[in-house]
Structure 1
Amino acid sequence: MYEKVVLIIARIIITPLFIYSGLGKVLHFSDNVAKTPFGDTLVGQLMIVAAIIIELGGSLCFLTGYRLKAVSIIWIVYVFLTSVLFHQFWLYTGAQQSSQFIAFGKNLSIISGLLYFSLFSPERRQS
């Protein structure tokens, strides 16, 4: 019982990060497309649409307990790719390198929590 409650609390704690990020992409779609490696192209737009689906759709699944392991794995890949594409600390020096390194490290911490969910979360029974 205790473990189940802790897992629910952990799901509630991690999900707002993805909801906030997904809503930000919806509300500022064009700005986010411009920040992709592909800029304002169809590929850039598709990247942001995919990110919105992953973040908001995954959040809905995570909060309801549906397909936790699958969503965890998708989020692990997504957060890793986001880190490598957008927090390239190795390309910077000084304060910029430090802030990018911290963002990269925080994403690795998120990945570690998601790894736990991918291995140990019970799946919600489907009726």
Structure 2
Amino acid sequence: MNSHTIIIIARILITPLFLYSGSGKIINFTDNVLKTPFGDMLIGKLMIIFAIAIELGGSIAFIMGYRVKEISLLWIFYILLTSIMFHPFWAASGPQQAGQVIQFTKNMSICAGLLCFYLLAREQRKS
């Protein structure tokens, strides 16, 4: 298998996380809005709409190889922000803290993979 094929497979393998999350936000829109720090306010609704666009739109573009460098950076920023907002392990205790640490560190691992996609796309643009 050549490196181009492996890169396509890797892009396909990373997107189900975002596709699943984005489609879940559509299906359970109101519940997701209420989970935001702003609740049912307009800004909470806008946050979820932007999240859907980032997750679903980004996934489609990423699979197609369109703007991989930019989407990688966007997803890294998005994951860092949502991890701080929704997985505050530093504020939890007991078994809940362990679960939040796992979710937070898992997200940091995803960021590491996306950083590799960013660097690879940057190098491909140079050549």
Q: TM-score range by the shorter chain?
A: over 0.9
Q: CA deviation at 1:2?
A: 1.9
Matched, 1:50 2:38: no
Matched, 1:8 2:8: yes
Residues 35-72 of structure 1: CA deviation (Å, up to 9, x unaligned): 00111100000000000000000001001110000000
The CA distance in 2 between the partners of 1:46 and 1:119, in whole Å, is 31
Aligned to 2:59: 59
Q: Structure 2 counterpart of 1:101, which letter? A: V
Q: CA deviation at 1:118?
A: 0.7
Aligned to 2:85: 85
> Please, what TM-score do these two structures have when normalized by structure 1?
0.94
Aligned to 2:28: 28
Three-state SS of the structure 1 residue aligned to 2:55 is helix
The CA distance in 1 between the partners of 2:7 and 2:105, in whole Å, is 23
Q: CA deviation at 1:112?
A: 0.2
**Matched residues, percent identical?**
57
Residues 70-90 of structure 1: CA deviation (Å, up to 9, x unaligned): 000000000000100000000
The CA distance in 1 between the partners of 2:105 and 2:2, in whole Å, is 30
> Please, what TM-score do these two structures have when normalized by structure 2?
0.94
Three-state SS of the structure 2 residue aligned to 1:40 is coil
Please give the root-mean-square deviation of Cα atoms over the aligned residues, in Å: 1.0
Matched, 1:68 2:68: yes
Structure 2 gaps of 5+ residues are none
Three-state SS of the structure 2 residue aligned to 1:37 is coil
Q: CA deviation at 1:109?
A: 0.4
Q: In the comparison of the two structures, how many residue pairs are matched?
A: 123
Q: Where do 1:102-117 residues align within 5 Å? A: 102-117=102-117
Q: Which runs of 4+ in 1 moved over 4 A?
A: none
Matched, 1:41 2:41: yes
Three-state SS of the structure 1 residue aligned to 2:118 is helix
